[in-house]
Structure 1
Amino acid sequence: MNVPSQPWSLMNKIYRQVLPSVHKELAVWKQRAEQIPNSELRTQALESIDTKTFHCEGGGIYALLSADDKWRSEVIRFIIAYQTISDYLDNLCDRSTSLDPEDFALLHQSMEHALSPGTELENYYALREDQNDGGYLHDLVSTCQTILAKLPSFEQIAKSLIELERHYSNLQIHKHVIHEERVPRLQQWFTENERDLPAMSWYEFSACAGSTIGIFCLVSYATNKDLSPDLVDKIKEGYFPWIQGLHIMMDYLIDQEEDQEGGDLNFCFYYENKEQMMDRLMHFFNKADEAARALPHSRFHSLITRGLLGIYSTDTKVKNQPEVQSVFKKLMRAGGLPAYYFYWNSFVYRKVKTS
Structure 2
Amino acid sequence: MPEAKETVLEIDLGALAHNYRYLRSKIDKEVKFLSVVKAFAYGNDSVIIARKLEELGTDYFAVAYVEEGVHLRKNGITKPILVLHPQFTHFEEIIENCLEPNIYSEKILRSFIQTAERLKQKDYPVHIKFNTGLNRLGFDDHEVQLVRKLTAETSTIKIASVFSHLAASEDWKERDFTVGQIDLFRKMTWELIKDMDREPLLHICNTSGVINYPKAAFSMVRSGIGLYGFGNDKTVDPYLRPVSTLKTIISQIRKLDKGDTVGYNRSFKVEKPTRIATLPVGHADGINRIYGNGRAGVYINGSYAPIAGNVCMDIIMVDVTGIDCHEGDEVIVFGGPHHPVKFAEAGGTISYELITGIQRRVTRKVIPE
Normalised by the length of structure 1, the TM-score is 0.27
Q: Which structure's CA Rg is the greater one?
A: 2
Structure with greater proportional helix content = 1
Structure with greater proportional strand content = 2
Normalised by the length of structure 2, the TM-score is 0.26
Greater RCO (CA < 8 Å, at least 6 residues apart): 2
